[in-house]
Amino acid sequence: MNDSSKATLQAPASAASPKTNLAETPDSEVLRLLNQRGSVRDYLPDPVPEAMVEAIIAAGQRVPTSSNVQAYSIIVVRTPETKARLAELAGNQQHVIDCPVFFALCADQTRAEYAAHLHGTEFIGHTLEKGLVATIDAALVGMGMSLAADSLGLGTVMIGAMRNKPLEVARLLGLPPRVFVVFGLCLGRARNPPLPKPRQPAAVVVHQETYGSTGMEAALEDYDRELAAYYTGQGRPTPERSWSKTTADKYAQAVRMTLRQELAQLGFPLE
């Protein structure tokens, strides 16, 4: 990695000297990036410099992982034929083909198993807890990589549909036992950077001391209207009850019903 790519990851000067006036609205580069981000599904064909790819991966490796086990791996995919097949397995998502770089974020217990053999201890990696640890590790790394990409002027979108056909994805990417792709991450330069999508109000997401649901119905009705207006502004008109109707439809059907059995075949029985 060259020096210029390292420089892009340095904290801004203001981060080293936080504001002391607590009455001021908090501000930082990270806060601005998160408040402005949006998922990118329309990419320019411009290649991503290798130094940027390496810097994004290195940033992802700095996120916290459970007990420093680091039970994840990252597969970098650039070959058009492989991306085309991954896109097909993910339900024909064109952006998987179009993005210059595709990352497969994997839950990976192979190095933990090696550590057990190295020290002559029993490897017990088949439990739900251990499976969750590896899955969460992969998710944290992917979010760190996404934020790093945003900071470099690139865009990403996460592809959960890598779990549609996990066995075929594993065969395509040559995964050994005890590894599966949790999700994918498209990377590239956005053709038209998206506006940040409205989020649900803190009043229904954040709870103080104990869980409360007072006012949830009215707040979500307001959010339905706000999100519908956002989609309409993006040229994607939707019913007024855009969030609740879409979510209700999603939860009205069971999906990936064979996932547990398929993960067991990949070494993640999650007992």
Structural domain of 149: 32-196
Please enumerate in sequence order all residues whose Cβ is within 8 A of that of 88, keeping only pairs 6 or more positions apart, or say none. Answer: none
Of 45, 29, 46, 49, the C-alpha closest to 37 is 29
Strand partners, 156: 187
156 and 131 in a single domain? The answer is yes
**Rg of the chain on CA atoms, in Å:** 21
| DSSP conformational letter for 24 | S
Q: Based on the fold, state whether residues 80 and 184 are members of the same structural domain.
A: yes
Question: Quick one: 182 and 118 in the same domain?
Answer: yes
The structure tokens listed for 191 are: 């053709």
- Output phi, psi for 12, to 5 deg: -65, 155
Our CA dihedral for 52, 137, 77, 58, rounded to 10 degrees, sits at 20
Question: Which residues 6+ apart lie within 8 Å of 142 measured at CB?
Answer: 60, 103, 105, 158, 182, 183, 185
Note whether 110 and 185 are within 8 A (CB): no
Q: Which pLDDT does position 237 carry in this prediction?
A: 80
In the chain, the percentage of residues whose pLDDT exceeds 70 is: 92
How do residues 100-154 score in pLDDT, each as one tens digit? 999 999 999 999 999 999 999 999 999 999 999 999 999 999 999 999 999 999 9
Distance CA 225, CA 103 (A): 35
What is the pLDDT, as a whole number, of residue 213? 85
Asked if the structure places residue 143 within a domain, the reply is yes
pTM value?
0.89
Tokens (6 digits) for 259: 């996932």
114 and 235 in a single domain? The answer is: no
Q: Total domain count for the chain?
A: 2
Based on the domain organization, do 187 and 202 belong to the same domain? no
Q: What is the DSSP letter of 192?
A: S
| Rounded (5°) CA angle 34-36-41 | 100
